[in-house]
A and B are shown apart, each in its own frame.
Chain A
């Protein structure tokens, strides 16, 4: 089984709709991240969480919100989706006790906003 899972894997929605993307992990890592990936722009950090009570904005948080329901679950919401939020979204985790800075990514959610 995958260590980091994301649901749904694909989603098509309409402008103005509220969307939630979910991420679960079995790695036991405290730190979780949400990124979006766009052609030519690479990976950009939306939000990150160091534990259940510590949530921080990344470089492109406008239009997004997050919820850390448990150590293993981190959800990303688009309150009112717009077409330029069409992208590939990735969740990632990291372990501060590992002594490295490596992050482990989920398989991604492909979101299309019409």
Chain B
């Protein structure tokens, strides 16, 4: 069983739609990271959170520690948001355990 599960695996939406990507994990964590991987392969850290909610521009990340679940939301989605969004959890040994990613395509 994967320690980090993301859903959906693939998501195609129209420009302007509200996007939700989910992440569930089965291990104890100290923090959860959301990252974005561009089509060229580069990885950018979006959020690191251990409780509650964080917002940066049109991106919002939430985490529910009791339910071992996190969501990444994108408001007013745009074609430039098209990328793979990855959830990674940080355990007590500080290693990141990565999810498989959600491939998001936003059509104009």
A and B associate: no
* A residues neighboring B (CB under 8 Å): none
